[in-house]
Each structure stands twice: as C-alpha cells, then as structure tokens.
Amino acid sequence: MRGGGRWPARLVWTVVACGVLDAAANVFIQAGLHSSEDPATLPVVSVLNALYPIGTVVLAGIVLRERLTAVQWAGIVLAFGAAVGLALA
C-alpha cells in the first residue's frame, strides 16, 4: 500500500479484471457442460478445463517474467499431448 492506506488504481483495476474474468470462465465452463445432450461434450470440456493451470504458468512467465524450468515445459508439452490424445481417441 502506498500513502494514506489507498490502493493504487492500477492494482484495483487488475484485481477487478481478474475477478470478472474468473467469473466469466466459470460461466463458460458451466455453459459448456450443459450446452449439449451429446455425451461426447463432457470429456472435451473436462479436458480443456484441466488445461487451465497452463495458462497460469504461461502468464507468470509473461507478466512476472518468471523463467519456466525444463520440468514445467515438459509438463506443458505432456498436458497438450494428453489433450490431443484424448481428442483423437
């Protein structure tokens, strides 16, 4: 916090944007799960939903300039490989 107990405006807008995007993601996941009577929808949405941690890791690399380790890159590659494998199955 800076002087007088006020939060910087940029931080407040960033937190608000994160909250709105998180809520929207939950709405889209629910819409995806309930959008179809086709039983093939659930596995596809579930796999895509399981990939969300990759976005967190990539954003940490971009926004916070964190370096990804070889293990993290291997995890990303394996997760995408698994998603493709499940999609083709």
51 and 79 Cβ atoms separated by less than 8 Å: yes
Q: What are phi and psi of 78, to 5 degrees?
A: -65, -40
Burial class (CB in 10 A: 0-12, 13-18, 19+), 41: middle
pTM above 0.75, yes or no: no
DSSP 37: S
Q: Which residues have CB under 8 Å from 35's CB, separation 6+? A: 41
Pick from 3-7, 13-17, 57-61 the range whose average pLDDT is largest.
Answer: 13-17
pLDDT in tens, 15-50: 899 889 989 988 988 888 787 787 777 777 777 777
Mean per-residue pLDDT over the chain, rounded: 82
